[in-house]
Structure 1
Amino acid sequence: AKLEAAFAPEALEVIDDSEKHRGHGGWREGGETHFHVVMRSKAFNGKSRLEAQRAINHVLAEELTGPVHALTMDVKGLD
Structure 2
Amino acid sequence: MSLQQAIEQKLANAFASYHLTVENESHKHNVPPNSETHFKVTLVAPEFEGQGKVKRHQSIYRILAEEMAGGVHALALHVYSPKEWQASGQAAPESPNCMGGSKNDPAFTPGGSR
For normalisation by structure 1, the TM-score amounts to 0.88
Higher relative contact order (CA 8 A, sep 6+): 1
| RMSD, matched Cα | 1.1
Unpaired runs of at least 5, structure 2: 1-8, 84-114
Residue 33 of structure 2 corresponds to residue 39 of structure 1: no
Distance in 1 (CA, whole Å) between partners of 2:48 and 2:79 is 8
Distance in 1 (CA, whole Å) between partners of 2:38 and 2:16 is 23
* Equivalent residue, structure 2, for 1:49: 53
**DSSP 3-state at the match of 1:58:** helix
* Equivalent residue, structure 1, for 2:21: 13
Tell me which structure has the larger Cα radius of gyration: 2
Identity of aligned pairs, percent?
37
CA offsets 1:46-76 (integer angstroms, 9 cap, x no match): 1111110110011000000001111011101
Relative to total residues, which structure has the larger strand share, 1 or 2? 1
* Equivalent residue, structure 1, for 2:91: none
For normalisation by structure 2, the TM-score amounts to 0.62
- Give the letter aligned to residue 82 of structure 2: L
Distance in 2 (CA, whole Å) between partners of 1:28 and 1:61 is 23
Distance in 2 (CA, whole Å) between partners of 1:49 and 1:38 is 13
